[in-house]
Amino acid sequence: MNSRSSRSDRPDQTAEGAGAGQVMDILFGHWRTELLLTAVESDLFTHLSGAPATAEELAARLGYRLPGAESFFVGLVGLGLLETEDGRFVNAPAAEQHLVRGRPGYMGGYLQFCRRELNPSWDGLGTALRTGLPQNRAAREGNPYHSLYEDKSATDLFLDSMDMFNSGIASHLADLDWSRYTSFVDVGGARGNIAHELASRHPHLTGEVFDLPPLESSFTEHMAALGGAGRVSFHGGDFFADPLPEADVLIFGHVLHNWGPEDRLRLLRSAYAAVRPGGAVIVYDPMVGDAVPSLYATLASLSMLVWSNGGREYSVDECHAWLKETGFRPETVALPDGVNEVLVVAHKDR
């Protein structure tokens, strides 16, 4: 065998083919995603929780057909989401914790929201880059949340995802010094996860969730399920059309990155009017710093490009500048490594 044919048998070793594996691995990422999303939609991991099954048994539970189903299950083993024990499939620890319906860390709602709402917008990434316009029709026509909340199933999936995303930051917010404050408003606070955590950790606080009126029933149900909701209430409204409720502290969590710079300034000016003297505004988002942003922040920013009306991730310096322009005195709060958020507290001196 000559050297040319030897190299052609191993293209990954040539200069031209050295990066082929890397490129293919990125492509395979989409296929891996489809394995995950299909498994979540079928509730496969919930079916397996506490009930290991052979390929034939699991296929029967899900209404799948062999032999394709077995390849699907083996693929989930390859992803590290399933394991095999004595010829039966069982959930891997990550799947048992985050993909079994009803668990506190359940991520299935967000994954299904991505499949139904966010991923279709990503299909138009090239168009969004050329035009600067969102690929979500509802966003092009105004506020995408108005149409999202018209669909109860889509709303439930979205609220599940919001709970999943804010659960990590909730304890860090509660760790702040709340001793000088007695009230707060979580602006765009969905069904009240953050508000419930703060009120539970600090019994002297009373809180409100300010969000679009269709979410009130979801808020009421969620608070009843969590218990101890007496000091947290819901205030329906549109923050671009209605004044924000007055309080010592207003919270903007995963809100500003949904909108363009002018809308962010509008919201912060409205917040300044609502915060009592000596109070504060709290902002958290996956902001970027002066260095090259993380892949997480970059993907979050592109998600805002394709799905929202002018949204993108922004830098910490930009956040500080907007807060100063509207009259606040901002400071960035240090968070532990591994937290994919930046937390800024901005004080209103008078």
Give the active site residues: 257
- Where b means 16+ CB within 10 Å and e means fewer, 145-173 reads beebbeeeebbebbbbbbbbbbeebbebb
187: which residues sit within 8 A by CB, 6+ positions away? Answer: 210, 211, 239, 244, 250, 251, 252, 255, 267, 271
Handedness of CA 250, 254, 255, 261 (dihedral sign): positive
Q: Which amino acid is at 204?
A: H
Q: How many CB atoms lie within 10 A of CB 225?
A: 9
Residue whose entry in the numeric block shows the structure tokens 């000088």: 180
Residue whose entry in the numeric block shows the structure tokens 């409720």: 245
Nearest to 142 by CA among 238, 252, 256, 265: 238
Contact 238, 293 (CB under 8 A): no
Q: At 340, phi and psi to the nearest 5? A: -85, 45
Contact 237, 210 (CB under 8 A): yes
Tell me if residue 288 falls in helix, strand or coil: strand
Determine the Cα–Cα distance for residues 260 and 110; give it in Å rounded to an integer.
Answer: 24
